[in-house]
């Protein structure tokens, strides 16, 4: 099968389409013929080895963390899917590889594709939609009337998180350039802070939840806009001990996460707020909860650009250079 692979961490020049063996299908697995795959900053981080201490992949490695496609065949224990079903998924972190013609996915990680979406639209959603759900619903338990700040509202994650937060009944603020203010207001943002002209921590205060996708100083400032008891959830900040425990990490890695996250956890404690690192999990069940929101238009995909499979490297470079104006980049296999 055709697949886009890297040969070693950090090897941008060696990343290329190549021929790979078809995946083996276990009893609980579903072989999916991929029609389209979303491109995420996570793909770049994995390629560059940023997670090699916790996700030791084998090479050659097929990149890709989002998919939409059609069930090709199923394992002997599969009960919920049949050949020909249209599906979408974010594969488990240990079984990535959606920049390919085929992938084997555990049945628990797969969900029927939203009926109202094309394959390309559906492929843009799993990773960011699951991240937004796990941050706002599962972890923050956002309630109607709460104030939620979502950074980078025009981005792949931000655009979906704003829509989900509004569905949950929150008052939503976001950061975006003036040129994108109308766009993010269209997603449902109530307040837009132009990060080029304003410092959001001087404009916003008393927020219940912040979803941070930038890390660094942006995360530090985010702690200061929270009210006592508030929560900052970051997908870009330092991993915390809770993440290490969830991962089942060895003692050395648990110690490393404790040390790395100590400064931000101390700052949070001094302000009476909470810091939480989120590395989203694959979940077909949560995708099935999201699907009705998608099919009724409460959450709609936002796609910036589509590349053919042969230009997967260019798609990654496009994301790496920060070129997307809004939403996701997608690679089409067919």
163 sits in which H/E element: helix 156-167
Predicted pLDDT of residue 222 = 98
Third-level CATH fold of 127-277 = Rossmann fold (3.40.50)
164-178 pLDDT, tens digit per residue, is 999 999 999 999 999
Confidence of residue 157 (pLDDT cuts 50, 70, 90): very high
Q: Which two tokens stand for residue 83?
A: 């050949």
**Residue 248: count of CB within 10 angstroms of its CB:** 8
Mean pLDDT calculated for residue range 251-276: 93
Whether 334 has a pLDDT exceeding 80, the answer reads no
**Residue 240: count of CB within 10 angstroms of its CB:** 21
Mean pLDDT calculated for residue range 28-39: 98
Per-domain residue ranges of the chain: 2-125+301-332, 127-277
Mean pLDDT calculated for residue range 128-151: 98
Q: In whole angstroms, what is the distance from residue 137 CA to residue 163 CA?
A: 13
Backbone angles phi, psi at 166, to 5 degrees: -65, -40
Kindly report the average pLDDT of the chain as a whole number: 96
CATH superfamily of 2-125+301-332: Medium-chain alcohol dehydrogenases, catalytic domain (3.90.180.10)
Predicted pLDDT of residue 246 = 84
């Amino acid at each position: 099968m055709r697949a886009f692979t890297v040969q070693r961490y950090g090897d941008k020049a060696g990343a290329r389409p190549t021929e790979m063996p078809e995946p083996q299908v276990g009893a609980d697995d579903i072989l999916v013929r991929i029609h389209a795959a979303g491109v995420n900053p996570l793909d770049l981080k994995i390629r560059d080895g940023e997670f090699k201490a916790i996700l030791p992949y084998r090479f050659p490695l097929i990149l890709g963390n989002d998919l939409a496609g059609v069930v090709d065949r199923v394992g002997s224990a599969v009960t919920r899917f049949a050949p020909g079903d249209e599906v979408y998924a974010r594969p488990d972190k240990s079984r990535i590889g959606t920049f390919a013609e085929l992938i084997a996915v555990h049945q628990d990680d797969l969900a029927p594709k939203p009926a109202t979406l094309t394959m390309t639209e559906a492929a843009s959603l799993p990773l960011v939609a699951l991240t937004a759900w796990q941050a706002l619903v599962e972890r923050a338990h956002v309630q109607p009337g709460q104030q939620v700040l979502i950074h980078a509202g025009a981005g792949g994650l931000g655009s979906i998180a704003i829509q989900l937060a509004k569905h949950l009944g929150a008052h939503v603020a976001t950061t975006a350039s003036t040129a994108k203010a109308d766009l993010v207001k269209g997603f449902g943002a109530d307040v837009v802070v132009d990060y080029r002209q304003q410092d959001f921590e001087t404009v916003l205060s008393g927020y219940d939840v912040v979803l941070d996708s930038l890390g660094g100083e942006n995360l530090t400032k985010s702690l200061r806009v929270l009210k006592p008891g508030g929560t900052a959830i970051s997908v870009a900040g330092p991993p915390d001990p809770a993440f290490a425990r969830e991962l089942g990490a060895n003692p050395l890695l648990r110690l490393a996460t404790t040390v790395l996250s100590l400064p931000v956890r101390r700052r949070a404690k001094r302000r009476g707020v909470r810091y939480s690192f989120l590395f989203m999990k694959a979940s077909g069940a949560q995708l099935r909860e999201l699907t009705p929101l998608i099919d009724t238009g409460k959450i709609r995909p936002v796609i910036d650009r589509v590349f053919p499979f042969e230009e997967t490297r260019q798609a990654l470079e496009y994301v790496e250079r920060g070129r997307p104006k809004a939403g996701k980049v997608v690679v089409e296999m067919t």
